[in-house]
Structure 1
Amino acid sequence: MNLKIALVAGAMALGVAGCMTPMASAPAPMAVTTASVFVPAAVSSNLLEIESSRLALQRARSPEVRRFARQMIRDHNLATRRMMAVLRRSGLPMPAPTMIPRHQAMVASLQTASDFDSAYMGAQVMAHQESVALFSSYGSNGDVPPLAAFARQTLPTLQMHLQHAQGIAGGGARVM
């Protein structure tokens, strides 16, 4: 299965087809308007960032990549805690801490990557493109106002992560 099909299939399984695909030829993003779609996608995205970055602390050779990984762990753990607090205050159910199968596969492929730094940074670019689209859509159209506010407040950090990842990836890391 090629990467574009895998991205679309993974996003469709989560119910956010188009929104989760970073490719230029992908369909226009679908608006993510419900907490029932946004929350599991955001949880999976944060777990992907945290788990892949923990792996980077073990396997990355570049000090710049290691610094980036530490920042991802800090920022995405904070985002997870903030989102859980919003869910509690809003009376929404706590999601299971699970990654969608495509995110699990991305972490698994990083575990065996021969050029880890490049593979990790490529995954970071792709994951942050997805997150920016997801948080932007829900922040604009979300059905739970406090959760939509959380998405809007988190978006600038995700955009900064994306720019940072693209800068590091442009310095020699290949994008998946």
Structure 2
Amino acid sequence: MNIKNIFSRTTLIFIFGAASSLAFAVDKIDAEDFVEEASAKSIAEVENAKLALQKSTSLDIQNFAQQMITDHSAVNIQLTSIAGQKKLDVSDEAALTTKAKKFMLEQRDGDSFDEAYTENQVEAHEDSIELFQRAAMSDDVELAKFAKQTLPKLQHHLTMAKELAAAHDKD
């Protein structure tokens, strides 16, 4: 490989790396939007978990649902405290799209419910992880710290949800 070729490749790698960094910088979320969206997601997690406790007869799903209630309630308490100090509003209800998904879950029973709930949990936690990753890059130091501290728990929830989804997939 000649020097010109090496230089060209190195330049391309540098440009790609800089562009990637810029893309991540643009992908930050502001504090107000993060608090609103994160609190709505946690409320939805708790509501759906309560539904799972009522509708599912599977012990593994009930255990998971109870953990979601415990963990997401704690996250919302912590987020509400931080938001209060910053005079930011937290959501008092789940987002409209999440309400529609909950409505669809309410129409199901038995294995159909279990399968839909676990698939919903995988998607919900993937979305939450992406949101918290964006918040972890926030200029708001306290919210970035909160997001970074919460991410491992959300990632663990996603792993558990994927295991449940695989166990309850009837296709």
TM-score range, shorter chain: 0.7 to 0.9
Separation (CA, whole Å) in 2 of partners of 1:172 and 1:54: 19
2:67 is equivalent to residue 96 of structure 1: no
Q: 1:52 to 1:124 in 2, by over 3 A?
A: same
Separation (CA, whole Å) in 1 of partners of 2:101 and 2:91: 19
2:117 to 117, 120, 124: 120
Bigger fraction of residues in helix: 2
Counterpart of 2:164, as a letter, is I
CA RMSD of aligned residues (A): 1.9
Q: Deviations over 1:35-85 (max 9, x none)?
A: 122111101110110000000000011100000000000000000001111
**Could you tell me whether the CA contact under 8 Å between 1:32 and 1:38 is conserved in 2?**
no
Q: 1:42 to 1:130 in 2, by over 3 A?
A: same
Separation (CA, whole Å) in 2 of partners of 1:32 and 1:109: 32
- Structure 2: give runs of 5+ residues left out of the alignment: 1-22
Could you tell me the TM-score, scaled by structure 2's length? 0.80
- Offset at residue 166 of structure 1 (A): 0.2
- Offset at residue 31 of structure 1 (A): 1.5
- Structure 1: give runs of 5+ residues left out of the alignment: 1-27
How many residue pairs align between the two structures? 146
Counterpart of 1:153, as a letter, is Q
Percent of pairs with identical residues:
32
- Offset at residue 125 of structure 1 (A): 0.4
Structure 2 counterpart of 1:136: 133
Larger Rg: 2
Q: Secondary structure at the match of 1:33?
A: coil
Q: 1:126 to 1:98 in 2, by over 3 A?
A: same
2:40 to 28, 44, 51: 44
Q: Which deviates the most, 115-124 or 35-44? A: 35-44
Structure 2 counterpart of 1:111: 106
Q: 1:174 to 1:152 in 2, by over 3 A?
A: farther
Counterpart of 2:116, as a letter, is A
Structure 2 counterpart of 1:65: 61
Structure 2 counterpart of 1:167: 163
Q: Secondary structure at the match of 1:32?
A: coil
Separation (CA, whole Å) in 1 of partners of 2:28 and 2:145: 14
